[in-house]
Amino acid sequence: MEANTLIPVRRSPGIQEFSPGDTVRVGMRVREGDRERVQVFQGVVIRVKGRAPGTTLTVRRVSYGIGIERTFPLYSPLLERVEVIRRGDVRQANLYYLRGRYGRAARIKERAWTKGRKPSPETTTEEQPEAEQEE
């Protein structure tokens, strides 16, 4: 028996669609004494693991020359938001190879299209589709 069939579990509405390689800003609620605040962690998504309530995402950033990875449960009530800063163009689902790289070698190209809609070879950067020219 699945736990999510007994208890309805929903993702927070502040979570945008993202994929490995994207640079995201994750906001988690942190309780300090009697105060509660949102702590932000920004970095590259190197892994999305699991399905439904057990889904986690691992975000990596380099701070003062030291690589820091943090894993967030996606369905946690403490997860305030996940906003995509930049879309990355990668070919792998798990970007563990970034652990051994730093500086320019650790860069990820920016994706020039949205999911499901790749630019056609005929369309160049100067030519826009007719629907976008009318706006």
Residue 23: give its domain's CATH number. Answer: 2.30.30.790
Q: What does the pLDDT read at residue 124?
A: 46
46 lies in a domain?
yes
Mean pLDDT calculated for residue range 127-134: 53
Q: Is residue 123 part of a domain?
A: no
Q: Does the residue 19 lie in any domain? A: yes
Nearest CA among 25, 19, 40 for reference residue 88: 19
132 is a domain residue: no
In the chain, the number of structural domains is 1
Q: Residue 80: is it exposed, middle or buried by C-beta count within 10 angstroms (0-12/13-18/19+)? A: middle
70 belongs to a structural domain: yes
Residues 47-91: tens digit of each pLDDT? 999 887 888 999 999 999 889 999 999 988 899 999 999 999 999
Residue-number span of the structural domain to which 27 is assigned? 3-110
Mind listing the pLDDT tens digit for each residue in 17-42?
899 999 999 999 999 999 999 999 99
